[in-house]
């Protein structure tokens, strides 16, 4: 089985307001949100990490409402919030919320789960201008090359290609998400050994 990963990225936010918003989200779900020293080996471990461009939240592996929580964070903080997801190591994707409304979304393989029509495929192409409008000092040109479909030519090519020369990962690699996040001023909240870079919380929410 490949990697499954879900995160929120709240642009221009700070740790305190994101923590408070997540606590309110849990309260509405009759869940549990308690600061506690945990590792990613713990099923309920959530990590919050502050960076220059905002806050990243890494959810426990068994939490499946990352879109809903990201939408909630966008409403509660008044800041743009990304819902980031890596699915089975096959692709990365995002949905961007502003005040609870979807303003952009990207999936390099929109037909991954089922056949989609042209309108649905177009809706997942991503819009660098819409993203850049919501991230201070970000130019559309600095992220537009991430927002391309992964067609058979890319996925079957023996030549690995990067979106930008200084990226770490390539097209067709789910970890390309972290290069994209870096452009936004967000960080992946674990170090190379899988150790959380910020405070951890016991996080359980009912669906």
The three state secondary structure string of the chain is CCCCEEEEEEECCCHHHHHHHHHHHHHHCCCEEEECCCCCCCCCEEEEEEECCEEEEECCCCCCCHHHHHHHHHHHHCCCEEEEEEECCCEEEEEEEECCEEEEEECCCCCCCCCCCHHHHHHCECCHHHHHCCCCCCCHHHCHHHCCCCCHHHHHCCCCCCCCCCCCCCCCCCCHHHHHHHHHCCCCCECCCCCECCCEEEEECCC
Condensed to tens digits (0 to 9), the pLDDT of residues 82-117 reads 999 999 999 999 999 999 999 999 999 999 898 889
What's the structural domain count of the chain? 1
Condensed to tens digits (0 to 9), the pLDDT of residues 148-175 reads 999 888 888 878 899 999 999 999 999 9
- Give the residue numbers spanning the domain of 179: 5-204
Q: What is the pTM of this model?
A: 0.95
Q: Please, what is the average pLDDT of the chain? A: 95
pLDDT at position 207 is 58
């Amino acid at each position: 089985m490949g990697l499954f990963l879900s995160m929120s990225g709240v642009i221009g936010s700070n740790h305190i307001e994101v923590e408070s918003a997540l606590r309110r989200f849990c309260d509405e779900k009759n869940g549990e949100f308690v600061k506690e020293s945990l590792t990613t080996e713990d099923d309920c471990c959530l990590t919050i990490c502050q960076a220059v461009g905002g806050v990243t939240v890494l959810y426990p592996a068994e939490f499946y409402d990352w879109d809903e929580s990201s939408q909630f964070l966008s409403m509660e903080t008044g800041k743009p919030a990304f819902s980031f997801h890596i699915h089975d190591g096959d692709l990365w994707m995002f949905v961007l919320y502003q005040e609870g409304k979807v303003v952009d979304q990207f999936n390099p393989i929109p037909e991954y789960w089922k056949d989609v029509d042209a309108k649905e495929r177009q809706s997942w192409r991503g819009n660098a201008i819409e993203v850049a409008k919501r991230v201070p000092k970000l130019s559309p040109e600095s992220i537009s090359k991430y927002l391309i479909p992964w067609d058979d030519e890319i996925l079957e090519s023996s030549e690995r290609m990067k979106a930008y020369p200084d990226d770490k990962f390539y097209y067709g690699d789910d970890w390309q998400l972290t290069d994209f996040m870096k452009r936004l001023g967000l960080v992946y909240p674990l170090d190379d050994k899988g150790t959380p870079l910020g405070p951890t919380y016991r996080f359980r929410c009912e669906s």
